[in-house]
A and B are shown apart, each in its own frame.
Chain A
Amino acid sequence: MEITVRTTDLLKELLLIQGVVERKTTIPILSQLLVEAGGDGQIHLAATDLELAISTNCPAKIKKSGSGAVPARKLLDYVRLLPDADLSIKLLENHYVQLRCGRASTRMVGMSRENFPELAAFPSTPPARIPGAVLARMIRKTIFAIASEEARYTLNGAQMVLKPESIALVATDGHRLAHVADDHTAIEGVPAEIRCLVPRKAMVELQKLIDELPEGGTVEFGQDETNLFFSLPLAGGGRRVLAARQLTGQFPNYEAVLPKDNARVCVLPSEPLTQALRRVAQFADERSHAVKLRLEKDHLTLTSSSSEAGEADEELDTPYQGEPMVIGFNSQYLLDFLAVAGSEEVRLELKDEQSAGQFRPQGGDGDQYRYIVMPMRI
């Protein structure tokens, strides 16, 4: 293989692909990037950590086709230091890879591509077509609620539900749940209903890929027995494809925990609430992040106290007419929601101090977005 690429073109793809490169070198081939040059004026790049795989391509002048495995991290670190210029890449004997750019030259130790895992191909069935901007927005509104503790395995992703006229994403870590649905958007290519669990890490990588999508771009979605596939077109031709191993197991029956009769409602301006919460949270217990919300006629008081740091309180006006009550929440959970609510005001709907509270944007971008948080024992 012998090719020439523009360093800036290559760097962009290397950065996008780096997230799935295995950092721990338990299986050496997984630290490698698969590079293939065919006859289509593109080089194809792929990396995998066996859970996720990303493949992409980059325009190149192909002198001689072929393929090899190159250490991904080293390649990125090196290319990053090169100026915007032409870079020639040539496979030598014994899996050496030669890089030349201007007067800089290197010989990297690669590996045989034979050892590189077989990558699953996008299924041949017609894909579902999801507007990239919608998907990105929904990921942003749910990803933070996914369990990060590896133990809660089936919660380690979000459930995606696709229907011909709607898309919904749900994520929970057992203490809170974010549910977002958009039923104004037609999803082409969905015969009836598709339900799947998208792993958290796939959502992270997908967000990065969608960021690179031109405005109005579409993400094609497909699945086979073991993988989910997200395919995004590239401006210069070709596609970037993310393949994610499906999470097995049962997503919890979340419909059962959606509050139905939370009658104590108050509406609060998002920004002042966020600011007040941030301040009060400074004095919350460092581990639990607990803040108390005291609702009384026409105002809400936030309080916190920690044995080490001290205490804080702050009052906000709200047209509240219900019974007074006090409820404790993890302030971080509330801030996570406020950061993505996307509305001037938020609705806080409560039942009592032991039952889940529901937060919703008041107005906003048209998504049906609800965030359910269990209170803390106070």
Chain B
Amino acid sequence: MRKILHIDMDAFYASVEQRDDRALRGRPVIVAWRGPRSVVCAASYEARRFGVRSAMPAVSAERLCPEAIFVAPDFSRYRAVSQQTREIFRRHTDRIEPLSLDEAYLDVTENKTGLPSATRVAETIRRQIREELRLTASAGVAPNKYLAKIASDWRKPDGLFVIRPQAAYDFLTPLPVGRLPGVGRVMEARLKRLGIATVGELRGQASTRLEASFGRFGRRLYELARGVDESEVEPNRPTQSLSAEDTVERDVRLSETEPIIRRLAEKVWTAARKERRRARTVVLKLKTSDFKLLTRSVTPASFPATSEELAGLALALRARVGLDARQRYRLVGVGLGNFREPEEVDQNRELFA
């Protein structure tokens, strides 16, 4: 049986800001660029009480919490702190799979310090982060990655939760299916139409029925419902691509996709800022109402430097779709690919920096 940790820093960027600026402590802090289309990168727990969430438009956040202090993100600092958390992880294991600057999976089936249990490792890591970095992290301990991730969220913030192998079944039974990885809003609605709202109800389904309804993902649902997830913790897995996509509630025409594309571009851009490497290729993905998938991509001479540029490039790709203007689409996605080391791309400097 494997022992997997998921460590998730609490309100990471906002916490770093509060740590480094006494005046921000105890106050609602929102990390976001100022701008009409900007989205929240992080919100302190004080701000979350007002309903502010990451990835929501900064203007909405301001409306919810007018007294919030807006801080422009400083990713170089966040990256440096993230590096320090990795060093703490590395004292315990080399099998670390960072998901972003603020979360990582650790495989501690064997750990370097000889601590007797995964729970003790998680406690130690949390204590070291608190004492050395003066930040808090939540940890999930479980026999696989997806359960560890659900667990770290369970006692957030500053919490620890353990899902023991023998308890996984009962733990999962009452959970809404939306907690399972890969089950988004639309999938959740489809399951609901089949009378499946909880993981327990999902478990009641024959794998053949799930596969008939959902194809290969049906098989995955069957396993997830039983707490099975064989995916390995993969250290040093460099990001190949990043994307955000949205299945729309009502199929839209291409001409109506601009607000969706802008929102997705902002989201992808925020995620890409967490990468040291930079993406060269911009991808627009669309699924027609009759489930035909199409992608268009462009690799500009200089890689996109702002989220507006990313949005602009994705919007421009619409001209290359080439289907009838009346065609409707059920899914829109914006992606970045072809990540390169910054020094690999001998980049032309910007005139208007």
Q: Footprint of B on A, CB under 8 Å?
A: 24, 26, 149-153, 172, 174-177, 252-253, 257, 285, 287-288, 290, 328, 330, 354, 356, 372, 374-378
Does the CB pair B309–A151 fall under 8 Å?
yes
Known: A26-B325, A175-B302, A287-B301. A330 touches B348 (CB 8 A): yes
Give Cα distance in the complex from A376 to B301, angstroms.
13
Instruction: Please report the C-alpha to C-alpha distance between residue A368 and residue B308 in the assembled complex, in whole angstroms.
Output: 34
Other 12 A-B pairs with CB < 8 A, given A149-B312, A174-B302, A374-B351: A24-B322, A149-B300, A150-B315, A151-B310, A175-B348, A175-B350, A175-B351, A176-B351, A257-B351, A374-B349, A375-B348, A375-B349
Q: Is the CB of A288 within 8 A of B351?
A: no
Given known A-B contacts A174-B352, A175-B302, A252-B352, A151 and B347 have beta carbons under 8 A apart: no
Q: List 8 A-B contacts (CB under 8 A).
A: A151-B315, A152-B309, A152-B312, A172-B351, A174-B350, A174-B352, A288-B345, A377-B347
Give Cα A24 to B319, complex, Å. Answer: 10
Residue numbers in B under 8 Å from A253 (CB-CB)? 352
* B313 CB to nearest chain A CB (Å): 5
The yes or no answer to B212 lying at the interface (CB within 8 A) is no
In the complex, chain A residues whose CB is within 8 Å of the CB of B312: 149-153
Tell me the bound Cα distance from A236 to B144 in angstroms.
83
CB distance from A41 to the nearest CB of B (A): 41
What residues of A have a CB within 8 angstroms of the CB of B322 in the complex?
Answer: 24
Closest-by-CB residue of A relative to B316 is A150
- Quick one: which of B320-343 are within 8 Å of A by CB? 322, 325, 343
Report the minimum CB–CB distance from B300 to chain A (whole Å): 5
Q: How distant is the Cα of A24 from the Cα of B350 in the complex, in angstroms?
A: 34
Q: Counting CB contacts under 8 A, is B346 at the interface? A: yes
CA distance A27 to B59 in the complex (A): 37
Give the residue among A26, A174, A252, A354 with the most B Cβ atoms within 10 A: A174
Which residue from A150, A290, A372 sits with its C-beta under 8 Å from B346? A290
Chain B positions within 8 Å of A288 at CB level: 345-348
A149 in contact with B313 (CB, 8 Å): yes
A358 to B325, CA, bound (A): 46
Q: Are A175 and B300 in contact (CB under 8 A)?
A: no
Chain B residues whose C-beta falls within 8 Å of the C-beta of A378 in the assembled complex: 346
CB atoms of B346 and A377 under 8 A apart: yes
Bound form: Cα–Cα A45–B312 in Å: 34
Q: Among A24, A150, A252, A375, find the residue whose CB has the most chain B CB atoms closer than 10 A.
A: A150
Interface residue SS majority, chain A: loop
- Compute how far the CA of A178 lies from the CA of B348 in the bound complex, rounded to whole angstroms: 16
Asked if A175 meets B313 with Cβ closer than 8 Å, knowing A26-B325, A151-B308, the reply is no
CA distance A183 to B304 in the complex (A): 37
Q: Determine if A328 and B316 form an interchain contact, defined as CB atoms under 8 angstroms apart.
A: no
Cβ–Cβ contact B325 & A356, under 8 A: no
Find chain A residues with CB under 8 A from B351 CB: 172, 174-177, 257, 356, 372, 374
Q: How many residues of B are counted as interface, with CB atoms below 8 angstroms from the partner's CB atoms?
A: 24
With a CB–CB cut-off of 8 A, which chain A residues contact B305? 174
Whether the pair B348, A376 counts as a contact (CB closer than 8 A) is yes
CA distance A288 to B322 in the complex (A): 30
Output the nearest chain B residue to A330 by Cβ-Cβ distance: B348
Q: Taking A149-B300, A150-B316 as contacts, is the C-beta distance between A376 and B325 under 8 angstroms?
A: no
CA distance A149 to B304 in the complex (A): 10
Distance of A302 from chain B, by nearest CB (Å): 16
A287 to B310, CA, bound (A): 20
CB distance from B109 to the nearest CB of A (A): 41
Task: List chain B residues, Cβ under 8 A from A152.
Answer: 309, 312
Residues of A within 8 A of B301 (CB): 149, 287
CB distance from A334 to the nearest CB of B (A): 12
* Cα separation A174 to B349 with both chains bound (whole Å): 9
Report the Cα distance A176→B348, complex, angstroms.
10
* Among B304, B311, B345, B348, contact of A374 (Cβ-Cβ < 8 Å): B348
Chain B nearest CB: distance from A177 CB in Å?
6
- CB interface residues, B 277-332, toward A, < 8 Å: 300-302, 304-305, 308-313, 315-316, 322, 325
Q: A151-B304, A151-B313 are in contact. Are A257 and B349 (CB under 8 A)?
A: no
Q: Look across to chain A and name the residue whose beta carbon is closest to the beta carbon of B322.
A: A24
State in angstroms the CA–CA spacing of A304 and B350 once bound together.
22
* Residues of the B chain whose Cβ atoms lie less than 8 Å from the Cβ of A287: 301
Q: B349 and A377: CB pair below 8 A?
A: yes
Query: Chain B's nearest CB lies how many Å from the CB of A303?
Result: 14
- Which residues from chain B contact A356 at a C-beta distance below 8 Å? 351
Closest beta carbon of chain A to B23's beta carbon, Å: 32
* Closest Cβ neighbor of A26 among chain B residues: B325
Q: Which residues of B contact A151 (CB under 8 A)?
A: 300, 304, 308-313, 315-316
Measured between C-beta atoms, what is the minimum distance from B189 to chain A in Å? 33
> CA of A24 to CA of B305 in the docked complex: distance in angstroms?
30
Q: Which residues of A contact B302 (CB under 8 A)?
A: 174-175
What's the least CB distance linking A365 to chain B, in Å? 26
A288 CB → nearest B CB, Å? 5
Task: Tell me which of B302, B310, B315, B352 has the highest count of chain A C-beta atoms within 10 A of its own C-beta.
Answer: B352
Q: Is the CB of A374 within 8 A of B350?
A: yes
Complex Cα–Cα for A149 and B315 (A): 12
Closest 10 CB pairs of A and B: A151-B312, A150-B316, A374-B349, A151-B309, A175-B348, A151-B313, A376-B348, A252-B352, A288-B346, A374-B351
A354 to B316, CA, bound (A): 32
Report the bound CA distance from A231 to B325 in whole Å: 34
Taking the closest CB of chain B, its distance from the CB of A372, in whole angstroms, is: 7
Bound: A174/B352 CA distance, A: 6
Residue-wise interface mask of B (230-268) relative to A, using a CB-CB cutoff of 8 A (1 in contact, 0 not): 000000000000000000000000000000000000000
Residue of A nearest to B308 (CB): A151
Enumerate chain A residues within 8 angstroms of B304, measured Cβ to Cβ: 151
Q: A151-B308, A151-B309, A152-B309 are in contact. Are A175 and B349 (CB under 8 A)?
A: yes
Give min CB distance, A327 to chain B, whole Å. 11
Q: Complex Cα distance A153/B322, Å?
A: 22
Are B346 and A285 in touch, CB under 8 angstroms? Answer: yes
Complex interface bits, B86-122 against A, C-beta within 8 A gives 1, otherwise 0: 0000000000000000000000000000000000000
**Neighbour of B313 across the interface among A150, A257, A330, A377, CB < 8 A:** A150
